[in-house]
Chains A and B, each alone.
Chain A
Amino acid sequence: MKPGLNTGVTPKNGADLLVEALVKEGVDTVFGYPGGAVLPIYDAIYRAGNAFTHILGRHEQGTIHAAEGYARVSRKPGVVFATSGPGATNLVTGIADAMMDSLPLVVFTGQVATGVIGTDAFQEADVMGITTPITKHNYQVQTITDLPRIVKEAFHIATTGRPGPVVVDIPKDISAEISSDVEFDTSFDLPGYQPTLKPNPLQIKKLADSLTKSKKPILLAGAGVLHGKASNRLLEFVEKFQLPVTTTLLGLGSFPGSHQNHLGMAGMHGTFTSNMALYECDLLINIGARFDDRLTGNLQHFAPNATVAHIDIDPAEIGKNITTHIPIVSDANEALKQLLSLASETPDHEQWWELLGRYQDEYPLWYNNPKESMIGQWVLETVHEVTKGEAIVTTDVGQHQMWAAQYYTLEKPDRWVTSGGLGTMGFGFPSAIGAQLAKPDDLVVAIVGDGGFQMTFQELSILQERNLPVKVIIVNNQALGMVRQWQEKFYEERYSESLFAIQPDFVKLADSYSIRGVKIETQADFEAQLPELMAYDGPVVIDCRVLQQENVYPMIAPGKGLHEMIGVKP
């Protein structure tokens, strides 16, 4: 008997068809949480035995963030199950997060039976209505015969073009319906969905021409480079034309961080050099970034003198925030390939490089290191040193996230998992679980804040259950650090509800899950213990006590332009 295809059961019900469809999609890991309306599906999963690994979360939010982490590093769709009503609504944050950061998810929600839909039945929620604005597409299965096709379409839509989440809502009676003669028909036709993958040659020519003419070019690499698996091609392109490169938060790792052409991250907490380069450039080539306001700052001052070329697979992103002179709708890899074949003359950017070099020398990232106590920047720099920059790093949202972006220099793609667009606290830890499941042999480090960790730490159960050696580093300043920073800077130090008076004992917490927990309060202890902790064969929770009043610099204050950074120098 072929594993996964529950041939022992005839006739099949809707849930069996679903399991079969997932196996046909090559799904090996799913993340879920059972409940009333999804019980027929869980029964089918049980009967299918080893069809795929099911990871039982402890809250649907953690469950879906784990699937996001899995999707981000495996480049495969994350598959999620939840029950109707509260199960489905608990997924909403993760669905919105995946939508903002273009992560491929296929989410199956149980729904009450078709006969009672619309009656406010027990555990009924309007999943279609709720998820329509935060999904790439969604479906409610109306008949069992549609099920195989819908699953096929859902995977196709989630993973092609600009990736994104797709929700499939399955009423209980349809998953329970027994049908002996459903033809497993997965042929589909989506005339309204035809992503453009190849660039318009005329626009590529225009960009190639602009490149030869430009005196001060800059290349901005976004997550689209990662989704398009275009990192190698990007490196080739940059080296051929000796272009300066900056990356968005989500684009980190798309270009080697320590490469001499890399100016660092751009945006609100980006490097001075990157932001000045964006401000002063005469040609901006954006590949796969959506000109988020955290990147651009005040739009008036964003690349004011530049010819803007924007390569994006989603036409709606081009011209959305920034006037674009050379629009190129294309897959990143394909666009770079054609550009490489076309442009040949290497222009001389000596003066430009000289200026950028001066910025880099004069205004590097900085922090004051108080040797007697730990601060976040130092912690991240030390983690980078000890792990040689080779770990898969997931983060929560806040100060530690920005410090990780600044000080954990990534050399390779798909090793950076963070919530960019939605800025979701609680993301960092569960996404590390998904990342570790996707890459069992890699070192996965979850950098979390004490605030965000407390939102989803119930998923520690999974580390224990699955024996996942995730290393959790809590950058613990006993505050909502970024909130505290903004209150200090822009609300005259009125720390309204941002300082925690009470903290759990994170070591005991870890211990209660039978996980090793360590509390570290000094630099000496951290330096002494970190190599062993990183090499430890099993999960660890490291509670790093850092100074509360440390801020993330440099910074673009709200409403200010790229050239108006504060905290550029000590």
Chain B
Amino acid sequence: MKRIITATVQNRSGVLNRVTGLLQRRQFNIESISVGQTETPGISKMTLVVEVEDNQKLEQLTKQLNKQIDVLKVSDITDKAIVARELALIKVVSSSQLRNEIQGIIEPFRASIIDVSKDSLSIQVTGKPEKIEALIELLRPYGIKELARTGLTAFLRGQQPQVTEFTPYSLLK
């Protein structure tokens, strides 16, 4: 099962290495990991998307992460109300004749063209991973020259639904 885990960490050299090394040696498969600073100086936040076999492995994952001295807090937010986004940059083969056609494709995705050259277009898209996948699939027939994705970043929504009325919701299933 795919889980979204966030870890609040001290912003020190080697912390990313600690976390990824830990996951590697305990045989957890990281699908994506993104890190950046938070509102508090010296504190960073990691968002990990991991594939785990079962709840027992998941528990072990969060406990081992928590054990790290530089890790302040670990949360599995998969089943919570969250906002989750990823950014992708896609460079597509495109002659000038095709530009309008591609523009038409990316518009519903609220993606934008951020660079144009004689034979290519660079597109920026933000959204849930499924949306990015969908756009990539649509653009693939044109020929993707280069693709870069940031990995998922996420946090809890400002308000969580009441637990009693809450139906589990996961954008990653």
Contact = CB atoms under 8 A, between A and B. Distances in A.
Interface of A: 128-129, 132-133, 136-137, 140, 157, 190-193, 314-316, 319-320, 323
Interface of B: 9-10, 13-14, 17-18, 21-22, 25, 56, 59-60, 63-64, 66-72
Given A136-B69, A192-B71, 11 more contacts: A128-B14, A133-B22, A137-B69, A191-B72, A192-B69, A192-B72, A193-B69, A314-B67, A315-B67, A319-B56, A319-B60
24 contacts: A128-B14, A129-B17, A132-B14, A132-B18, A132-B21, A133-B22, A140-B13, A157-B69, A191-B72, A192-B10, A192-B68, A192-B69, A192-B70, A192-B71, A192-B72, A315-B63, A315-B66, A316-B60, A316-B63, A316-B64, A316-B66, A316-B67, A319-B59, A320-B60
Contacts of A136: 69
B17 A132 contact: yes
A266 B17 CA distance: 38
Contacts of A192: 9-10, 68-72
A504 B138 CA distance: 74
Contacts of B13: 140
A316 B72 CA distance: 15
Nearest to B64: A316
Chain B CB within 10 A, most for which of A129, A133, A323: A133
A316 B59 CA distance: 8
B10 A133 contact: no
Contacts of A315: 63, 66-67
Contacts of A316: 60, 63-64, 66-67
Contact of B69 (A133, A190, A320): A190
Contacts of B60: 316, 319-320
Contacts of B72: 191-192
Nearest to A128: B14
B171 to A, nearest CB: 28
Nearest to A317: B63
A133 B25 CA distance: 8
A136 to B, nearest CB: 8
A332 to B, nearest CB: 18
Contacts of A137: 69
Contacts of B14: 128, 132, 140
Contacts of A132: 14, 17-18, 21
B7 to A, nearest CB: 10
A128 B21 CA distance: 12
Chain B CB within 10 A, most for which of A128, A192, A315, A320: A192
Contacts of A133: 21-22, 25
- Which 5 residue pairs of A and B lie closest in terms of their CB atoms, listed nearest first? A316-B63, A137-B69, A192-B72, A193-B69, A316-B67
Contacts of B71: 192
A314 B13 CA distance: 25
A157 B66 CA distance: 15
Contacts of A320: 60
A105 B66 CA distance: 22
A192 B56 CA distance: 23
B9 to A, nearest CB: 8
A132 B18 CA distance: 7
A314 B66 CA distance: 11
Nearest to A192: B72
A246 B68 CA distance: 32
Contacts of A140: 13-14
Contacts of B22: 133
A426 B116 CA distance: 66
A256 B18 CA distance: 41
A472 B70 CA distance: 43
